[in-house]
Amino acid sequence: MEAIRYVIAVMLITFIPAAILFWCLVHPFAQFWRKFGRSRSYRVIGSMLVVVMALLFLARQQLLASSWPGHPALDVAGIVCLVLSGWLRLRIAPHLPVRLLVGMPELAATKETALVTSGIYGRIRHPRYLQMDLALAGYAMIAGYPAAYGALLLWLVGIRFVVFLEERELLRRFGDEYRRYCEQVPRFIPKFPAGMPTAPPPEDGDA
């Protein structure tokens, strides 16, 4: 079990910084990358990510020098987070093909992808990031390394900055259509369907 925890921790400390770096490179400079060309853009960005991940992997012994003992309650909580993340991923999958996950529309020279507003995207604007929040939190709790929790914190803070960059870029691409979408659909807390029953108001005399 300790070997599994260690492998999970290594994946977290190498994957999370690279993922944040990828989107921080893509969104603010989307127009530049489109002019630069999709293939060349992927090669340049990919090379940067490989270097970052390699350096973090080489530093894994220092980063993971200390660990906290595993606890059954944390393992259970981690598994619950992973189950919720998996359920959410199934809801996202029909609306989010791989080409969107790897930033292809942002790097494309033309507006080739329509704004996704159906299904779960009609309830929440960024279900993919919420799903990743749950998954990474689950893995961090199972791993039990301080560095894994540090990587999780980096993700939670960094991805909120990425969302700001992403929404700004989407506003440039889709204009008023995206502005109206933002007004109707919350960012991270799902919107419940209209007509869902609510608790009745207290009657006179109720405390």
**pLDDT value of residue 169:** 83
* Inside any domain, residue 178: yes
For 30-52, write each residue's pLDDT tens digit.
778 878 887 888 889 899 999 99
For 42-85, write each residue's pLDDT tens digit.
889 899 999 999 999 999 999 999 988 878 999 999 999 999 99
What is the identity of the amino acid at 188?
F
What is the identity of the amino acid at 89?
R
What is the identity of the amino acid at 50?
V
Query: Tokens for 10?
Result: 């290594």
Assign 196 a pLDDT band (cuts: 50, 70, 90).
very low
For the entire predicted model, the pTM comes to: 0.81
Residues counted in the chain = 207
Q: Is it the case that residue 197 has pLDDT exceeding 50? A: no
Query: Tokens for 77?
Result: 């909580």
* Inside any domain, residue 37: yes
Assign 107 a pLDDT band (cuts: 50, 70, 90).
low
* Inside any domain, residue 202: no
* Inside any domain, residue 206: no
* Inside any domain, residue 201: no
Count of structural domains within the chain: 1
* Inside any domain, residue 200: no
* Inside any domain, residue 140: yes
* Inside any domain, residue 81: yes
Domain that holds residue 43: 2-63+70-184
